Amino acid sequence: MNAPNCLGISPARRDEATRVESRGLIFMKDDWTKHLFRRKQVWKTTWKFRVGVLLVLGTVFLLARTRLLTGLAESLIHDDVPSPSDAIVLEDYNQSYLVYETAARLLKEEFSDRLFVPAPIYNDPHTPNVVAKGFVDVLTRCARIEGAEIIPVEQSEPITLSVATQVSKTLQEEHVRSVIVVSPRFRSRRSFEVYRSVMEPLGIQVCCVAAEGKRRPDNWWKTTHGIQAIFLEFVKLHYYRLFIL
C-alpha cells in the first residue's frame, strides 16, 4: 500500500521532485529558485591530512636542507675562468676590500692592465663625489693597485643597469672590446647578466669573476646577516630577470 501523499502531489510528481533544503524551506526541482541557487559537493581536507603533509615536507627539508640551501646560494654565483681582456671593471657598491683584492690579483696575473672603478657623482656629472673617491683611493692603495681609472656615474634606478649602461659608454670611448667584471660573490650572477645584456650588443665581450669572502654557499644560513643578504640577492636577481632584462 502506498504511503500517504503528505505534500498533496501525485506519486509521479513526487518522484520527479528533488528536495533541496535551504534555511528550512523545501524547493522543487522545477521551482523558480533553480534559476537563483544551486547545490554542489565540496571536498575538504581534514586537519590530520594537513598535519601529515607538513610533517612530510618538514622531514624532507631537514634531510636535504644542506643541499637545498647550498644550491640556492650557488644559483646566485657566476664565476668565469678569466681570460686576457682589455680592461677590468670593478663593481662594488658597499666598498668591500675583497673585490679590490680580487682585481689586484687579476692585474698581477696580467689578465689586463687597466682597471675601471665606477663612483657615484654628487652635483657635477663629470666628477665623483669626494667621499666615494676617497673610498676608492684608500681601497686601491690598500690593495696596492696603481692607475685605477674612476668613472663618474649617476646611480639612478635600477642602479645596476644604469651603472652598466654608463660604464659601457666609457668603454666604447676607450675602444675596449673585452672586459672582466669583478663583483661580490653572491651578486655576481646578476652583475654578469646585466653587463652582458648591455655590452654584448655593443661588441664588448664580458666575463665575470666572483670575489671570494668568508660567507660561502655552505655556511650562509648560519648568521642572520647571511640569511638576509642571500634572500635579498635572490629576490633582486629574479626581479631583474622578470622586469628589467
Provide the H-helix boundaries in 75-145: 97-108, 130-142
- Smallest Cα–Cα separation from 153: which of 114, 192, 119? 119
DSSP-assigned letter for residue 75: T
- Smallest Cα–Cα separation from 191: which of 110, 97, 92? 92
Please determine, looking at this structure, whether the domain spanning 87-213+222-244 carries the CATH number 3.40.50.620.
yes
pLDDT tens figures, 108-151: 999 999 999 999 988 888 888 899 899 999 999 999 999 999 99
Q: Is the pLDDT of residue 89 over 50?
A: yes
Minimum mean pLDDT among 34-43, 52-61, 217-226, 228-237: which range? 34-43
Region 161-170: what's the mean pLDDT? 95
pLDDT at position 99: 94
Q: How far apart are CA 73 and CA 217, in angstroms?
A: 5
Q: How far apart are CA 173 and CA 154, in angstroms?
A: 18
What percent of the chain lies above the pLDDT cut of 70? 85
Minimum mean pLDDT among 3-7, 72-76, 86-90: which range? 3-7
